[in-house]
Structures are given as structure tokens and as C-alpha cells.
Structure 1
Amino acid sequence: MITLDGKRIASAIKSAIKSELEGLPESKRPGLGTILVGDDPASHTYVAGKHRDCAEVGIRSLRVELPASASDREIHAAIDSFNRDPHCTGFIVQLPIPGRESITFLEAIDPEKDCDGLNPINLGHLLLDEHGIYPCTPLAILTLLRSYEIELEGVSVAILGRGITVGRPLAMLLSSHHVNASVSIVHSKTIDPERIIRQADVVIAAVGKKWFLTPSMIKPGATVVDVGLTRVDGKLFGDVDPAVAEVAGALSPVPGGVGPMTRAMLLDNIMQIHRRKMKR
């Protein structure tokens, strides 16, 4: 079985970015902004990791942290501040935002600074097969699969989950004209989901349930990508039962698979925005 080692591929991406930025004065380096609302430990861990990555490659960090009690007006003010800040190349609003729907905040992000690729305009570029900034986790999955030369054109892909950060944009990306996979989305209302999963050549699990995908649910030799994370008693678990390794032809580990690749794609998106800005 092939282990889809996201750490290794992410390290190579970060090394290339670091080399590109070496020698640039501070004023010419891109800056990544983050807006974090609330006290969720996982969100704080994710954001801290993103800023460590920035320090590693030479991207400047800009941070705004707000309490869970922050008003919508305060969150929008933070977004507006980054939209106007010339030192901020791009930024993210860390999701989820406690007690709120995310869409109004994602809509408020300047599409040209939306390094998470979740503003409706950037999602529209993805839908229309146009070049643009795409969501980080779908990009991470595609980049990881291509790095290991996993065939996708014409291949049956089952995506488990239909969230806005992974499932739905991933379905658009993999079914686009430059990938050409045949995609099925499996969700809570799908009739006979195990039949669809067992027929798939590639299974991507993004449901957020510990060990949801078991060996009996996949066909021998299938490629399996574990995206979902669940914290149980302080420990992180993926969506895929470890025993799936006995059946799969390729499997991404948790941790060390999609997670580091997602952070690397955030840096790559920042660099795309930075290069575009430098050409103007």
C-alpha cells in the first residue's frame, strides 16, 4: 500500500516558496492575515500552525483575535481593516465562527485577498472552470493525489460529505475540465451510500466522524483520502478506520496527510495573490 505522505509534499512546496522569497526586503514580502473569533482550542491550534508556516518561509503574519462575544459589527470591522491594509496580501476568517453563519463574513472579504477561496465570487470562478483562488483543502487533496500520480481522469470518485469548505468545492474541482473525474457526493440522505462507495476507485472522506469508513466499505486497491478530524478525549481521529490500510491501494494518514497539505496550499494561494500584485 502507498502512504500518501502530505508532510513530504508540503515540505517541498514550502521550500520552493522560501527560496522564492529569499533576499526580498521585508516591505516586498507578502503578508497573511488571520481573524480568529472565540476560544475553540482546535481553531487556535490551526491558526498558530499557519503562522508558524509563514515564519518558516518568510511570509509576514498579521493577526486579529476577537472574543466569542464579539459583535457582527466588530468582526466586519476586522475584515474591512484587512481589506484596506496594503501590508495584507490576503487573509482568512477562521471557521467556524461561534454561534454564527459564515456566509455574510465570507461575502465581505475582498475576493482579491480571499486566500481561502471561499468568497462566493471565487467559488464562482471554480464553478465556471476559470482561473482563480480555489479553496485550500480541495486543492490540497488534488495536489496530493497528483504528486503520487493517482489517475483521476474518467475515474469514479466518491466524496463523503457536502460541506462548503471541502465536499462541494472538491466535487467542482475534480469534475472540472482539467481533471475530468466522475464524481459522486455521498451525504446523510443518500440512498444506499455503501454501494456508491464500494464502486469508487477513489474515496475521499470528509464527514468528521471517527473511523466512519471501514474496510468492508471500499473495494480492494481503492485510493482513500482521509480529510475529516474528530477530537475524542483530547486525541485526534480521522474518518477512516486504520484497518482500511489492509484493503486500500493508497491511503493518506491522519495526522500527516491532508492537514499539512492544506496549510501549504494556503501559502501557495498567498503567493499567487502576491505574484499577481507584483505584475501590476
Structure 2
Amino acid sequence: MTESDKVFAGSIPKFYDTLMVPLIFEAYAADIAELVAGFSPGSVLETAAGSGVVTRALAPRLGAGARYVVTDLNQPMLDYAATRQGSDSRIEWRQADALALPFEDASFDVVCCQFGAMFFPDRVAGYAEARRVLRPGGRFVFNAWDRIEENAFADDVTNAVAAVFPHDPPRFLARTPHGYHDVALIREELGRAGFAVIEIETREKVSRAGSARDVATAYCQGTPLRNEIEARDAGLLQLATDRATEAIASRHGEGPVAGKIQAHVIVAASP
């Protein structure tokens, strides 16, 4: 992962939330919310909350007296998430690094993290922090994308943008969001962090959008892929988006489009 992989600033939060979230994140956020709520937690910590899609799905399912701390490393994303949530006295918004959590040991019943682990520069350290702040018997609930070839639109966009920059293809999507797909490695790293009981389920879903243009704009302008494109030639952002649009339309048709997405959903129990 490069430093630019972690930059969600400028117009990215809005594009991310309005286009990427309904495209690929809402369905898996519903999974996370259902799993977490099923444990009837009195206190929940969310890390790498992004624009708040899990927060919006989970908050209505928590008890009236629950404590819900929502964190993200990127303040612009956290600010955007807070504006989308509305007033809820149970929620505390706090900028925090998942690898150095500013909370006492055994503070939470559940820690959850949607598609954030692949951004951790040291995943074992991040997992160890989650275990540290969990009470005995607490759960760490998170997910990670499967390999890019199992995620149609991300693969299409990556290949199309690579054709625009053949000598230095932007690889953000394959490198980071889809770069942590090895289930054996996930288990091994969780084990090194002190988790012993680990359940992993691979779930396939369908990603839908109103048009190929919406998909291309979401990926090219609503993720750090945009940073990679602009670092090479900011004047080619629109061309890259156009090429991605053409690639998706040629494979998935004109008008509304649908493509396979696939991710691993993990529940690790604290000893």
C-alpha cells in the first residue's frame, strides 16, 4: 500500500458515499449490522468507519442504552459520516488510528470494521488492538474483499485504466482493496494477534448501478484510484473515466448494469 491509498479527501468522500456506497458497500454493511446486533452489545467500537454506511445500518439496531463509538483515521470522511447520521446521543465520533486506539483495555463488547483491514499498515497490530479493547468473550467483526477477479466492476475498471497508462498502470484497486483476499493469511494474522476462535464465510452478492457511467465515476473519482490517475496526469481523469465506462458497457450492456462482487465476512472471538 502507498500513502496515496489512504487519502480520502477533497471531493472523494461525496463521490464515495453517493456512488460507491450503494454500488458495493450497502449490502455488506447490512451483513455487519445484523451480525453485530445479534450479539446484543452494550458497547460497540467501529474502526475505519468511512462515510458511515455501517453506522447508519447498525445504530437503529442497537439498544437505547448502548454506547457506540465511531472512528476513522481520515477526519474528512468522519465529518461527512456525521452529517449523514443525524442526531443520536449514543454515538461518539472520534478520529482514531485503528493501530493505536485511544481506549482502555476491555472497553467494548464488539469491535467492527467494514473493509478497513486492508488499509492497515500492520494488520497484526490492528487486530491486536481490537482484541485489547474487547472484553473477554467479545467479538471482532469485519470483512475483506475477495480477489479482484471475483469482483467484476473493479476488475473492469482496473484493466481499462491500465490501458490509459500502459507504462505505469494504476493498481490501487488490485493492490489494496482486493489485495487481502487469502483466507489462510487472514486466519494466521488473527491468530498471531491472539484470536483463537475464528469464523470466515465468503459471501457473493450482486453490485447494481443505473449505468456504466455511474460505476466508472464511482471507482475513478470516488476512491484513491483518483489520486493515482491524477498523479500520473490530472488531465486524463476524464479520459480514464470514459474508458472505464466503455469497458463496463461493453461487458455488462447499456442502461442499468449488474456485476458480481464477493467478500469474506469474519467473526473472531476474544478469549
The structure that is helix-richer by fraction is 2
Instruction: Specify which structure has the higher proportion of strand.
Output: 2
